[in-house]
Amino acid sequence: MDIVLNPYDRKTIEAADYMRRRVGGKLIALSMGPHPKIIPIMNELFDAEISGIDDAYIMSDKRMAGSDTWATSYTLSKGISKILSIHREAIEALAKAVDTGEPIERVEALAADLYRRNLLPNKIYSDKPSIRETLINMLSEGKISREEASKILWEEANKIYRDFMIFAGMKASDGETGNVGPQVAEALSQELGFTIPHVSFVLDFEYIGERNSIVARRKLVNLIQVVEVEIPAVLTIHVEYSAPPIPLSGRRWSLLNSYRGKNRDIKIYNADDIKADPRFIGLAGSPTVVGPGVDISRPYVRKVVGSSLIAAKDIDKVSYGDKTYGPYKKGDLLDSLPEEVKRGLMSKGLAKIFDYDDLAEEIINALRG
Amino acid sequence: MAQAQQVLNVLPPTPDLESYRDVWVFIEILKGNMLSYCLEGIAAARKIASKVNMGVGALVASDVVSEEVVKTLIEYGADYVVAVEHPYLADYEPFAYTRALEEVVRERKPWALIFMADELGRDLAPRLAYRLVTGLATDNIDYDVEDFYHGLLKEKYTNILAQIRPDFATRIAKIYTPRHRPQIASLRPGSFKPLPRDPSRKGEVYRYKPSLSNYQRKIRVLGYEVIEDRGAELLEAKLIVSLGLGILRDAEGNPKNPLEAVELAKKIIDLVRNKLGVKAAMGASRALIHADVKELSGIITHDIQVGQTGKTVSPKVYIAAGISGAIQHRVGILRAGNIVSINIDPKAPIHEIAHYVIIEDLYKALPKLYEALLRKIEGGGG
So what's the pLDDT on residue B262?
A: 96
Percent of chain B with pLDDT over 70: 96
- Mean pLDDT of the region A26-53: 88
Partner B contacted by A61 (CB < 8 A): no
Tens of pLDDT along A239-276?
888 888 888 877 888 899 999 998 999 999 999 999 99
Closest residue in A to B169 (Cα–Cα): A293
Please report which confidence band the pLDDT of residue A175 belongs to, taking 50, 70 and 90 as the band edges: very low
User: How far apart are the CA of B323 and the nearest CA of chain A, in angstroms?
Assistant: 17
Tens of pLDDT along A211-227?
999 999 999 988 999 99
Question: Chain A interface, mutation test: which of B33, B98, B124, B127, most A Cβ atoms within 10 Å?
Answer: B127
Name every chain A residue with its beta carbon within 8 A of the beta carbon of B135.
68, 70, 286-288
Nearest to A68 among B135, B152, B372 (CB): B135
So what's the pLDDT on residue B174?
A: 92
Please report which confidence band the pLDDT of residue B2 belongs to, taking 50, 70 and 90 as the band edges: very low
So what's the pLDDT on residue A317?
A: 86
Q: Give the global pTM.
A: 0.80
CB contact under 8 Å between B30 and A222, yes or no, is: yes
Nearest to A229 among B133, B177, B218 (CB): B218
- Mean pLDDT of the region B205-209: 98
First to last CA, chain B: 82
Instruction: Round to whole Å and give the CA distance between B34 and B69.
Output: 7
Name every chain A residue with its beta carbon within 8 A of the beta carbon of B302.
239-240
The yes-or-no verdict on residue B5 having pLDDT over 60 is no
Contact B39, B190 (CB under 8 A): no
Name every chain A residue with its beta carbon within 8 A of the beta carbon of B138.
176-177, 179
User: How far apart are the CA of B202 and the nearest CA of chain A, in angstroms?
Assistant: 30
Please report which confidence band the pLDDT of residue B3 belongs to, taking 50, 70 and 90 as the band edges: very low
User: How far apart are the CA of A226 and the nearest CA of chain B, in angstroms?
Assistant: 5
User: What average pLDDT does chain B have?
Assistant: 92
Tens of pLDDT along B10-42?
999 999 999 999 999 999 999 999 999 999 999
So what's the pLDDT on residue A295?
A: 67
Burial class from Cβ neighbours inside 10 Å (0-12, 13-18, 19+) for residue A93 reads: middle
- Mean pLDDT of the region B64-73: 97
Nearest to B232 among A69, A222, A286 (CB): A222
So what's the pLDDT on residue B246?
A: 95
Percent of chain A with pLDDT over 90: 70
Partner B contacted by A364 (CB < 8 A): yes
The yes-or-no verdict on residue B264 having pLDDT over 50 is yes
Please report which confidence band the pLDDT of residue A173 belongs to, taking 50, 70 and 90 as the band edges: very low
Tens of pLDDT along A338-358?
888 899 899 999 999 999 999
Contact B85, B209 (CB under 8 A): yes
Backbone angles phi, psi at B58, to 5 degrees: -100, 120
Name every chain A residue with its beta carbon within 8 A of the beta carbon of B167.
175, 293
The yes-or-no verdict on residue B1 having pLDDT over 60 is no
Of the candidates B359, B258, B356, B351, the residue with the CA atom closest to the CA atom of residue B299: B258
Instruction: Round to whole Å and give the CA distance between B187 and B189.
Output: 6
CB contact under 8 Å between B220 and A227, yes or no, is: yes
Partner B contacted by A183 (CB < 8 A): yes
Name every chain B residue with its beta carbon within 8 A of the beta carbon of A360.
369, 372-373, 375-376
Name every chain A residue with its beta carbon within 8 A of the beta carbon of B134.
70, 287
So what's the pLDDT on residue B169?
A: 40
So what's the pLDDT on residue A300?
A: 59
Task: Lowest mean pLDDT of A43-57, A72-86, B2-16, B31-45, name the range.
Answer: B2-16
- Mean pLDDT of the region B1-17: 72
Q: For chains A and B, what is the number of CB pairs under 8 angstroms?
A: 274
So what's the pLDDT on residue B380?
A: 61
Please report which confidence band the pLDDT of residue B194 belongs to, taking 50, 70 and 90 as the band edges: very high
The yes-or-no verdict on residue B331 having pLDDT over 70 is yes
User: How far apart are the CA of A279 and the nearest CA of chain B, in angstroms?
Assistant: 4
Nearest to B135 among A186, A287, A296 (CB): A287
The yes-or-no verdict on residue A318 having pLDDT over 70 is yes
User: For chain A, what is the HEC assignment?
Assistant: CEEECCCCCHHHHHHHHHHHHHHCCCEEEEEECCHHHHHHHHHHHHHCCCCCCCEEEEECCHHHCCCCHHHHHHHHHHHHHHHHHHHHHHHHHHHHHHHCCCCHHHHHHHHHHHHHCCCCCCCCCCCCCCCCCCHHHHHHCCCCCHHHHHHHHHHHHHHCCCCCEEEEECECCCCCECCHHHHHHHHHHHHHCCCCCEEEEEEEEEEEHHHCEEEEEEEECCEEEEEEEECCEEEEECCCCCCCCCCCCCHHHHHHCCCCCCCCCCEEECCCCCCCCHHHCCCCCCCCEECCCECCCCCCCCEECCCCEEECCCECCEEECCEEECCECCCCECCCCCHHHHHHHHHCCCEEECCHHHHHHHHHHHHHC
Contact B140, B186 (CB under 8 A): yes
User: How far apart are the CA of A368 and the nearest CA of chain B, in angstroms?
Assistant: 8
So what's the pLDDT on residue A171?
A: 61
Nearest to A223 among B131, B227, B380 (CB): B227
- Mean pLDDT of the region A28-36: 93
Partner B contacted by A255 (CB < 8 A): no
Partner B contacted by A254 (CB < 8 A): no
Backbone angles phi, psi at B3, to 5 degrees: -70, -40
Please report which confidence band the pLDDT of residue A7 belongs to, taking 50, 70 and 90 as the band edges: low
CB contact under 8 Å between A220 and B30, yes or no, is: yes
Name every chain B residue with its beta carbon within 8 A of the beta carbon of A198.
94-95, 123, 127
